[in-house]
Amino acid sequence: MKKTGIVFLLLCAIFAIAFSTFALSNSEKLEELRAGRKKLLAEIYKLRVKLIQEDPDIKALHKKIMALHRELAVKIDNKEEMKELLRKNKMIDAEINKLAEGKDNKQ
């Protein structure tokens, strides 16, 4: 019985060490992948901006899309439901700014 208990404890210890090693290496790999993804996304963004600026067809299409986006925003913002929500948001922003200014003045 004593030998079985010792073997069990040794197996648990080996498993715990292996798991912590795996978790650590997995965590390091995860951080490495996240950093690589962040760098790659920054490169993608820079290339998109460059292509919009340099390629005449892409630049023209981007200009049309932005004009449509502005037109859509105006139409949406002119709907009564949206006007009401925008008014509420403006009131909340004003209250937040008022409270923040009061807090800043006390410090």
pLDDT of residue 7: 66
pLDDT of residue 13: 73
Please indicate, yes or no, if residue 71 is contained in any of the structural domains.
Answer: yes
Rounded to an integer, what distance in angstroms lies between the CA atom of residue 107 and that of residue 104?
5
Q: What is the pTM of this model?
A: 0.56
Rounded to an integer, what distance in angstroms lies between the CA atom of residue 8 and that of residue 57?
70
Q: Which residues of the chain have pLDDT under 70?
A: 1-2, 5, 7-8, 10, 15, 18-24, 105-107
Q: How many domains does the chain have?
A: 2
Rounded to an integer, what distance in angstroms lies between the CA atom of residue 18 and that of residue 26?
12
For the stretch 55-75, pLDDT in tens is 999 999 999 999 999 999 999
pLDDT of residue 24: 61
Do residues 68 and 105 share a domain?
A: yes
Domain extent, residue 33, equals 1-39
- The residue assigned the tokens 């996240």 is 34
Please indicate, yes or no, if residue 17 is contained in any of the structural domains.
Answer: yes
Please indicate, yes or no, if residue 46 is contained in any of the structural domains.
Answer: no
